[in-house]
Homo-oligomer: A and B are copies of this chain.
Amino acid sequence: MHSSAEENYLKAIYKLQEANGELVATSALAQLLGIHMASVTDMLKKMSTKKLVAYQKSKGFKLTEKGRLAAIGIIRKHRLWEVFLVDKLGFRWDEVHDIAEQLEHIHSQDLIDKLDAYLDFPKTDPHGDPIPDAKGVFAISKSVLLAALSPGSQGKFTGVTDHSSAFLNYLDKIGLSLGDTVKVKEVEAFDKNYTLLLKGKKSVVVSFKVANSLLISE
């Protein structure tokens, strides 16, 4: 059984590896975890001994297969708990992350299996992020940033790349929800503002910054 600290390292390393390719830097991990580099070096040596990461001194490190599977297990738990909090307990999507950060460290395979079944085996969490199955396999979803679409194209809003409360609340405010069909009506050349048509009814104008944080599928 891994400690909560180890599990948080695993998640963070996984995230950085996904984003930036192979080798992860001490500095990047320290920044993501909000701790100092010396602490990261310390911990990585221990995790290396446990074969959770492959560590090359002063070069960088990456997850071993064992570490990768452990990381995916935590992510699975985090996202399933988020679904529970929103679907069953009625939390808003901007409120659940911090609680899930705690719940993801509960150790019980039986619990997570039963929770998964209770939630009817959800494929995505409240933010549109994919939930790996019990074997650690993610359903492949090909989505693109809304900011990459040209006027006239449309698709379904299926995820966000910014998970901050501020951003999620903003989306609530303008009435943009996961699953909405969105059509790019116009892209203003001057300031790159996007005019979007939602489900053919209302239209909203969002900045490039926002368009660049919305994931569109289909």
Contacts and interface: CB of A to CB of B under 8 A. Distances in A.
Interface of A: 85, 88-91, 95, 98-99, 102-103, 106-108, 110-111, 114-115, 118
Nearest to A103: B106
Main secondary structure on chain A at its contact with chain B? helix
A160 B98 CA distance: 36
Contacts of A95: 110
B102 A108 contact: yes
A16 to B, nearest CB: 27
A85 B84 CA distance: 13
Q: Which 6 A-B pairs give the minimum distances between C-beta atoms?
A: A89-B114, A102-B106, A99-B108, A89-B118, A99-B111, A103-B106
Contacts of A91: 110, 114
Contact of A107 (B88, B102, B108, B111): B102
A89 B102 contact: no
A108 B108 CA distance: 20
A110 B91 CA distance: 9
A4 to B, nearest CB: 10
Contacts of A110: 91, 95, 99
B99 A106 contact: yes
Contacts of A90: 114, 118
Which residue of A85, A98, A111 has the most chain B CB atoms within 10 A of its CB atom? A111
A154 B115 CA distance: 39
Contacts of A85: 111
Contacts of A98: 108
22 contacts: A85-B111, A88-B88, A88-B118, A89-B111, A89-B114, A89-B115, A89-B118, A90-B114, A90-B118, A91-B110, A91-B114, A95-B110, A98-B108, A99-B106, A99-B108, A99-B110, A99-B111, A102-B106, A102-B107, A102-B108, A103-B103, A103-B106
Nearest to A115: B89
Given A99-B108, A103-B106, 6 more contacts: A88-B88, A89-B118, A95-B110, A98-B108, A102-B107, A103-B103
